[in-house]
Amino acid sequence: MTPFMRKWLPAVGLLALGPLLARAEPDTFGLGSGRDGALTVTGSNTVINAYAPLTAPAARKATSLEVGACLADTCFAQGDLVLVYQVSGLSPAPASGDPGPVDVNTSGAGRWEFARLAEVTPSTLRLTAPLVQDYPANLSQVIRVPEYTTVTVPAGGSLTAARWNGSVGGVVAFLATDEVNNQGSISARDSGFRGGQYVANEWVTRGCIELDEGVPNGAQKGEGLAGVSRYGASQTGRGNVANGAGGGICFRSGGGGGGNGGSGGQGGRSDANDGGRDVGGKGGAAVSAPLLTRLLFGGGGGAGHGPSTSFGGSGGAGGGAVFLRARQLMGGGVLDASGGLGGSAYEGSGGGGAGGALYVRIVRSAGCHIAAVTGGIGGSSPTPRVGPGGGGGGGQALFQSEPGASCEILSMGSSPGAQQDASAYSYGAQAGVNSTPIKLAYGFIIPTPPTVVTPPNGTITNNVRPRITGTSALYPQRASPNTEILLLIDGEEVGRVLSDASGSFSFALPQDLAEGSHTVRAVAAVDAVQSLDSTPSTFLVDITPPDTFVSGPQGTIHEHNPRFEFGSSEETVTYTCSLDGGAFNPCPASGIFTDVPDGSHTVRVRSRDRAGNEDDSPASWHFRVAAADRASIGDGFGCSAPGRDTSMLWLSLCALAVGLRRRHLGR
């Protein structure tokens, strides 16, 4: 093994992060590129997004997405920005009837991230950078997100999400580098999780009580975060499943309202001939979620129960998601992700859908009429003493802009339905619960890249854990002005740290680095959005001492100023020398040791590299100085020529030697 090979083979157990894969794609997209230009909406119910289901699991660091058929007039193209979105998949799903609340932090439901397309085929979308998170098949979708410069929605015009169909849809999303002027509506109203569908149950059984009551005694439950496997014709009974509401049960009780930010209301009681029992469908559970990083559809309302084939009430669909970022929002229009109304019926009525999600982040000022994630009103019955539907719960709203936004944010749970007996108007049906919107009263921050100060670019160090320091911009408009800094070594995150009050940060590596070249970058993260990478700083970790070589006169020499040559296995080293066990001092630049006395001697030489590593086994050279032995040259020394053509040369050399010897003795 050569010294070079020995030096750079990484030690076992050290952090060798090498750039084996491109770095995963963080949210650095801000307001987008504006690549789609200006949009002016010319009609109602305009769908600007394309949708495709994810047909195979996409793991973290995957660089391609396997997708099914696209739902859109114009599908995906190279360079498009897409939203990869896990709609449901709460795991494990709560038991039927669990009142919640549901915490999605323990699952992937509602997670999303941006990605950009490098290549497109009908079944595969290749990405410019790997995914940050895992996405399961059949529970996730890929959505094309237009990147506009400006967006204008005139009065009477509307941007709308395609309705969620169990596979795709439910989201209207875009970015705008400049202003959005909305005089109409941007809506995902009743476009989220589906309500339970009314199916006539012609048997006249009474006295049902079960959370999971089979057909014909139970009506369908609403869809929710538990996913499509817990929704449909076989999912019946009064028990809610997560935020999806329970259906009515025999006889003629109302369906519950869907849940989201607030829980849904329970459906009304069974009819008078069944004793008016309190067995309406249970409302969907409230959901706890970090709104900066999760989008949640509203839960669907449960269907009402009844025998009529013509006059039953289906549950209302939950609200979908409105997702937009822009420099400015203006106009008197509406942003709406409210839940749908429960179906009214002569039989048990359907519960209202829960409000969905608003994700609205504006750099400057924001103005609009209302921004709504209200629950849908429960269905009513024109028949006395049959179960009305429960009201849908309020949705999840994140609204960010500079102070003074004129938008009224509505996130109320809605009222239940009613029936015709004035003495018991709601007949046991309950209202949905309000939710609390999150308002960030400062403009959307697109953070600037930090600066790495140490280790400086080009550094060579023998410190396997060099401290990473630098500076970052401060954002005093936030409650906490300190900025979160992500530290990346060779493209992999190795830790996070908060900057101090001056914007400085310092980070101690948790693990040794392997020998070799490394590149450190820093990224600022503010409210779940990241800056671009800092200017890279590349440094070399070197912990292997150099090998040293020395050569000089061999055997016995007859002079007091011997010359030596030094070498090393590395370039750009310095040498220190020791003569006969003395202290190590810088070796003479000429390599000549002066005035070395007669006798045996040892020179030891060690090299020190640029990282500060010093050879711990110095090279040695042994020699003997015997300058006094030249005195023997003049005692009985005679000169004779060996003959031939060289005779005069030999005589001359002998004469010179005798003369020098005599001159020396005469001093």
Residue 664 has pLDDT above 50, yes or no: no
Which residue in 311, 338, 333, 335 sits closest to 325, CA to CA? 335
pLDDT in tens, 553-583: 999 999 999 999 999 999 999 999 999 999 9
pLDDT in tens, 101-156: 999 998 999 999 999 999 999 999 999 999 999 999 999 999 999 999 999 999 99
pLDDT in tens, 475-527: 999 877 789 999 999 999 999 999 999 999 999 999 999 999 999 999 999 99
Domain with CATH 2.60.40.10 in the chain: 3-21+446-541, 548-625
Residue 666 has pLDDT above 80, yes or no: no
Question: CA-CA distance, 55 to 140, in Å (whole number)?
Answer: 8
- β-pair partners for 551: 565
Q: Global pTM? A: 0.85
Contacts of residue 577, Cβ cutoff 8 Å, sequence gap at least 6: 584, 585, 586, 587, 588, 593, 603, 604, 605
Instruction: Answer whether 284's CB lies under 8 Å from 258's CB.
Output: yes
CATH no. for 3-21+446-541:
2.60.40.10
Our measurement of the distance from residue 490's CA atom to the centroid of its chain's CA atoms, rounded to an integer in Å, reads 17
Residue 17 has pLDDT above 70, yes or no: no
Residue with tokens 């810088």: 586
* pLDDT in the model for residue 385: 95
Our measurement of the distance from residue 267's CA atom to the centroid of its chain's CA atoms, rounded to an integer in Å, reads 40
CA distance readout (Å), 517 to 18, 24, 174, 490: 9, 21, 41, 9
Helix (H/G/I), strand (E/B), else coil: 617:
coil
Architecture of the domain delimited by 548-625: Sandwich (2.60)
Contacts of residue 20, Cβ cutoff 8 Å, sequence gap at least 6: none
- β-pair partners for 517: 540
Contacts of residue 210, Cβ cutoff 8 Å, sequence gap at least 6: 217, 218, 237, 238, 239, 249
Instruction: Answer whether 137's CB lies under 8 Å from 54's CB.
Output: yes
Question: CA-CA distance, 182 to 46, in Å (whole number)?
Answer: 13
Question: CA-CA distance, 413 to 342, in Å (whole number)?
Answer: 13
* pLDDT in the model for residue 632: 53
CA distance readout (Å), 39 to 42, 81, 170: 9, 16, 21
List phi, psi (to 5°) of 320. -85, -145
